[in-house]
Amino acid sequence: MPLSIIEVLETEEFSRWIDELKDTQSAARILHRWEQVKRSGHLLGDWKTVGEGIFEMRFHNGPGYRTYFGLKNKQVVLLLCGGSKTHQKRDIDRAKHLWKSYLES
């Protein structure tokens, strides 16, 4: 069954990460891709599951930026956090923690 995204939400952590990203060109590309998801209603680009209900969208610029997100009812995306390939393991663990907290609230 294909996804039909109707809403994209951000955690405060994701918003802070993207706002503080020094590579403003990459930040603009990341936000542009997520804006395309909002408009099209479909996940676009290079993304995959990383386990425990968390997905990773990869961006092939800068140091290999990633955004981590969860899907609720295959219609709502919650952007959890972001990072780079360098800290991928730590960022995935953080995303899993944020997602679990969200589901328990």
**Residue 9: predicted pLDDT:** 95
Mean per-residue pLDDT, 11-34 = 97
Over 70: is that where the pLDDT of 1 sits?
no
Q: Render pLDDT for 38-91 as a digit per residue (tens, 0 to 9).
A: 999 999 999 999 999 999 999 998 999 999 999 998 889 999 999 999 999 999
Q: Enter the pTM of the model.
A: 0.94
**Residue 59: predicted pLDDT:** 97
**Residue 33: predicted pLDDT:** 96
The 3-class secondary structure across the chain, one letter per residue, is CCCCCCEEEECHHHHHHHHHCCCHHHHHHHHHHHHHHHHHCCCCCEEEEEECCEEEEECCCCCCEEEEEEEECCCEEEEEEEEEHHHHHHHHHHHHHHHHHHHHC
The answer to whether the CB of 83 falls within 8 A of the CB of 91 is yes
**Residue 73: predicted pLDDT:** 87
Distance (Å, rounded) from C-alpha 74 to C-alpha 41? 11
Q: Which fold has domain 7-104?
A: YaeB-like fold (3.30.2310)
Would you kindly state where each structural domain of the chain is located, as residue ranges?
7-104
**Residue 2: predicted pLDDT:** 65
